[in-house]
């Protein structure tokens, strides 16, 4: 079920939030697994040596098994980590045996910052509140992922559930577009590719 075009970003966020409220943990787990299977259909997700990922917040697609598999294959994975001395986030490499902490939004992140040279990242796997087929992405509204993504030149893949794919999302100049959309049903490049 798709949410029809809304007039504002806040209206879209609210509609998606209402839809997410009806999801069960079992539905999220099962459909996250399907989305991860589809994520692996993108060749670069199977071959990249350095991947940017995320730890899911709330009702986002759970990609932790994908990241764990990459790490077990000897590939490097980084995730957003809140800076200690200034506002904002930066990418930090994951070292599985090291300690973790809850970030400001109660999202798991490495306790120790291991800075990433952004040019090393070959593909970025990111969450979204909603996306459209033209490559526009809507986040939670804080701009944290847009700031992180704006400095990356690699392909960007939004992983969402099918009901989060919209016909059109309003954009602003600071919004960063994506290259692929992955859902529990399919994997496809965006229309502007």
Kindly report, residue by residue over 151-176, the tens digit of the pLDDT: 899 999 999 999 999 988 888 777 78
Residue identified by tokens 């070292």 is: 95
- Provide the whole-model pTM: 0.88
Q: How far is CA 41 from CA 30, 36, 153, 177, 191, in A?
A: 18, 9, 21, 21, 18
Q: How far is CA 45 from CA 32, 40, 52, 84, 172, in A?
A: 16, 6, 10, 30, 29
Q: Residues 43-57: what's their mean pLDDT?
A: 93
Mean pLDDT comparison of 27-36, 75-84, 106-115, highest-scoring range: 27-36
> φ, ψ for residue 70 (rounded to 5)?
-60, -45
CATH code of domain 9-78+118-189: 3.40.50.10420
- Which tens digits make up the pLDDT trace of 129-141? 999 989 989 887 6
Q: Are 178 and 129 in contact (CB under 8 A)?
A: no
pLDDT above 50 (res 1):
no
Query: How much is the pLDDT for 192?
Result: 61
3-state secondary structure of 172: coil
Q: Whole-angstrom distance between the N-terminal and C-terminal Cα of the chain?
A: 25
Query: How much is the pLDDT for 138?
Result: 86
């Amino acid at each position: 079920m798709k949410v029809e075009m809304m007039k504002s970003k806040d209206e879209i966020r609210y509609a998606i939030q209402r839809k997410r409220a009806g999801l069960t943990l079992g539905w999220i787990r099962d459909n996250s697994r399907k989305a991860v299977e589809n994520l692996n259909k993108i060749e670069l997700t199977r071959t990249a040596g350095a991947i940017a990922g995320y730890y899911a917040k709330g009702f986002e697609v759970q990609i932790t098994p994908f990241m764990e598999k990459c790490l077990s294959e000897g590939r490097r994975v980084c995730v957003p980590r809140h800076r200690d001395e200034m506002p904002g986030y930066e990418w930090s490499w994951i070292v599985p045996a090291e300690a973790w902490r809850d970030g400001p939004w109660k999202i798991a992140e490495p306790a120790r910052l291991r800075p990433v040279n952004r040019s090393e990242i070959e593909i970025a796997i990111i969450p979204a509140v909603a996306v459209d087929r033209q490559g526009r992405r809507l986040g939670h509204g804080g701009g944290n992922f847009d700031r992180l993504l704006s400095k990356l030149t690699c392909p960007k893949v939004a992983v969402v559930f099918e009901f989060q794919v919209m016909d059109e999302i309003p954009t602003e100049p600071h919004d960063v577009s994506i290259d692929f959309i992955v859902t529990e049903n399919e994997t496809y490049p965006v229309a502007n590719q």
